[in-house]
Structure 1
Amino acid sequence: MKGSITKFFGQALTGQGLKDLYQEIAKEAEEVYFLKGIFGFNASNLLKEIGYFYVNRGFDIEFFYDPLFENTVQATFVKGIGILFLQSSKPSIEPTRLGTRDHVISFYDCLDKGILKKHGQRLKQLSEEAEEWHHQLFDALRSAIEIHDEWERQTRKHMDWKALEEHQEELLDQIFDGMLLNKTGTLTHRLFGTLTPVGARDFLQNITRNLERRYFIKGLPGTGKSTMLKKLAQEALKRGFDVQQVWCGLDARSIDMVILPELKFCIFDSTAPHEYFPAEGRVGDQIVDIAKHCPLTKETEEKIQEIEKEYRGAILHATNYAKLYAEAEKEIRGIVDLATDVSKWKKQSARLFGK
């Protein structure tokens, strides 16, 4: 029987910069294979081949995707045996346990220096363009977060925090129903969405497909959704449950989802840009409405409309810069692929199968 594939983003473009969770994911692994080199898209193809190799042998795997390019994988994690294969030229992670957990596989010798030299001037130009668009992208995202913070300040003024706290306690009782496990809970971390060159994208449907209960939180910005999720995660850990915190793709300080695998349960922020509703006929889907605890005045609603318009403009700017950044990066990676010696690549890649 074949294994399953679960999809996450490996990195997120946030208002606080590029965020990845590879340090945390590596802590879950028994072995980590660091792929070192200057890569084009061939590294993604290799990581997918590795994933399918293990899926066809019955292992569940996780693919971690690049936010810049659709269907481009940065890492593959084989569940059960705990092997992480990671393209480590881009993510901010280096081996820390060489000789035990960590292995380095270098692909630098697979590059044809003559071809790189031939395209050297173009690579230099593209690198400078990419750096400029990268700078503009994160400037726009920082601006978007600042605007969003003002949006949150407007809603907080009208929030009934006591009612929210009572609602949270009722929710915790409903979820756990007094259950305690005789073990220590484990905390893991993932990313399920991010801004991309074609707008906000997420893998929520794939991630939650096998869960029996899905709770959809509906609420305004700044009304305690992320805080409530963090509190729920802490309570679950205290009760001995394993917890997966799934982080926000725009604000690196916030979480958007909590998954409790042992309960086949998740609860998540189901507002834009990842707005979902219960599926027809799916019994375990339920809305958690906390918007009712934040009645706005007409004056505040009008103020928020202006803020939201400004926020959407900043996100549009960021999306456009992400597209330009990706275009430059795409050409760079294409040249690197062209300069890759296929025979050397295949020889080095063969070491990664059947571990």
Structure 2
Amino acid sequence: MKGSITKFFGQAMTGQGMKNLYQEIIKEADKVYFLKGIFGFNVSNLLKEIGYHYVNKGHDIEFFYDPLFENTIQAVFIKDIHTLFLKSSTPSIEPTHLGTRDQIISFYECLDEASLKKHGQRIKELSEEINKWHNKCFASLQSAIEIHDEWEEQTQSHMDWKGLEQHRDELFDQIFDGMLLNKKGVLTHRLFGTLTPNGARDYLQNITRNLERRYFIKGLPGTGKSSMLKKLTQDALKRGFDVQKVWCGLDSKSIDMVILPELKLCIFDSTAPHEYFPEDGRAGDQIVDIVKHCKLIEEAEEKIQEISKEYRNAIQHATNYAKLYAEAEKEMREIIDLSTNLSKWKTQSAHLF
């Protein structure tokens, strides 16, 4: 019997820069293979092979995807044996438990120096392009966050916070039904969505496919959705439940979803850009409407219309720059693949099987 595949993003393009949670995921692992090198797309294909190798042996796995390129994988986690295979080309992601948990597999020697010299001038030009479009993309995202903050100021000044608090407490009573577990809850972290060169994307349907209850939070920006999820996380951990905290793909300080595996339940921010509604045939789907706690006056609604237009424009600029960033990055990775000695590559990657 084959195992299952759950999909997450490995990184998110946020208003505070590129965010990843690999340091947190590494903590879950008993064994980590750090794949070190200058990589093109070959490493994604290798990680897919590793993932399907374990799936075909009956293991459940998680794939972590690159926000720049559809179906391009940065890491694979084999859940039941707690083994992580990770493309480790980011300075902040380094092994800390060498000799025990961590093992380095180096692919640097797989690069052909003659081929790299042949493409040297183009590599230099592409590096400059990548840096330019990267900076413009994230400057636009930072601007979008600042505009979003103005949006939140408008809604927050018209919130019935006591009404929201009562609504939240009633919801939590419904979720937990007085249950306490005789153990310590474990907290893990994931990313389910991000901006991409093709707009906002997420893996919500894949992540929640086997959950029995799904709560769809409907609320305006700044009206307490993320704070509610953070409070739920705290309460669940105090009650001994394991919690998966799923972070926002635009604001790195905010969370969009909480999963309680032992209750087969999730609750998430179901507003744009990841707006979903209950599905026919899924009895456990339920809307949590907190819009009713925000009573906007006409002046505020008009101001919000202006702000939301500015926000959409900033996101569109970021998306356009992300496309240019990805185009330059794609050509760079293709050059790296062309400059890779496949015989040496196969020898090095054989260690991973």
TM-score band, normalised by shorter chain:
over 0.9
- SS of alignment partner, residue 246 of structure 2: strand
Structure 1 residue identity aligned to 2:173: D
TM-score (norm 1): 0.99
Aligned to 1:321: 321
State the shift of 1:319 in Å.
0.2
- SS of alignment partner, residue 214 of structure 1: strand
**Within-5 A mapping of 1:94-243:** 94-243=94-243
State the shift of 1:90 in Å.
3.5
- SS of alignment partner, residue 164 of structure 1: helix
State the shift of 1:338 in Å.
0.4
Aligned to 1:60: 60
The CA deviation string for residues 203-224 of structure 1, in whole angstroms up to 9 with x for no partner, is 0000000000000000000000
State the shift of 1:295 in Å.
1.2
- SS of alignment partner, residue 170 of structure 1: helix
CA contact (8 A) 1:20 1:91 kept: no
Greater Cα offset, 83-92 or 53-62: 83-92
Distance in 2 (alpha carbons) for counterparts of 1:108 and 1:17: 27
RMSD: 0.6
Percent identity between the aligned chains?
A: 79
Structure 2 residue identity aligned to 1:217: I
**Within-5 A mapping of 1:274-353:** 274-353=274-353
Deviating beyond 2 angstroms after TM superposition, the runs of 4 or more aligned structure 1 residues are none
- SS of alignment partner, residue 6 of structure 1: strand
Distance in 1 (alpha carbons) for counterparts of 2:91 and 2:213: 33
The answer to whether the aligner puts 1:83 opposite 2:80 as a matched pair is no
Distance in 1 (alpha carbons) for counterparts of 2:232 and 2:196: 29
Greater Cα offset, 83-92 or 186-195: 83-92
Distance in 2 (alpha carbons) for counterparts of 1:9 and 1:142: 20
Distance in 2 (alpha carbons) for counterparts of 1:352 and 1:338: 22
CA contact (8 A) 1:34 1:102 kept: yes
* Equivalent residues, number: 353
Distance in 1 (alpha carbons) for counterparts of 2:103 and 2:308: 47
Distance in 1 (alpha carbons) for counterparts of 2:306 and 2:260: 38
State the shift of 1:24 in Å.
0.1
State the shift of 1:91 in Å.
7.0
The answer to whether the aligner puts 1:35 opposite 2:27 as a matched pair is no
CA contact (8 A) 1:22 1:91 kept: no
Structure 1 residue identity aligned to 2:49: E
Aligned to 2:3: 3
Structure 2 residue identity aligned to 1:95: P
Gaps of 5+ in 1: none
State the shift of 1:281 in Å.
1.5
Gaps of 5+ in 2: none
- SS of alignment partner, residue 136 of structure 1: helix
Structure 2 residue identity aligned to 1:108: Y
- SS of alignment partner, residue 63 of structure 1: strand
Distance in 2 (alpha carbons) for counterparts of 1:101 and 1:92: 18
Distance in 2 (alpha carbons) for counterparts of 1:243 and 1:136: 36
CA contact (8 A) 1:36 1:108 kept: yes
CA contact (8 A) 1:9 1:65 kept: yes
State the shift of 1:92 in Å.
3.0
Structure 1 residue identity aligned to 2:19: K
- SS of alignment partner, residue 84 of structure 1: strand
Distance in 1 (alpha carbons) for counterparts of 2:241 and 2:48: 31
Aligned to 1:15: 15
Distance in 1 (alpha carbons) for counterparts of 2:263 and 2:352: 35
The CA deviation string for residues 213-267 of structure 1, in whole angstroms up to 9 with x for no partner, is 0000000000000000000010000000000000000000000000000000000
- SS of alignment partner, residue 188 of structure 1: strand
State the shift of 1:298 in Å.
1.1
- SS of alignment partner, residue 183 of structure 2: coil
Structure 2 residue identity aligned to 1:285: D
**Within-5 A mapping of 1:248-287:** 248-287=248-287
The answer to whether the aligner puts 1:244 opposite 2:241 as a matched pair is no
CA contact (8 A) 1:75 1:84 kept: yes
- SS of alignment partner, residue 158 of structure 2: coil
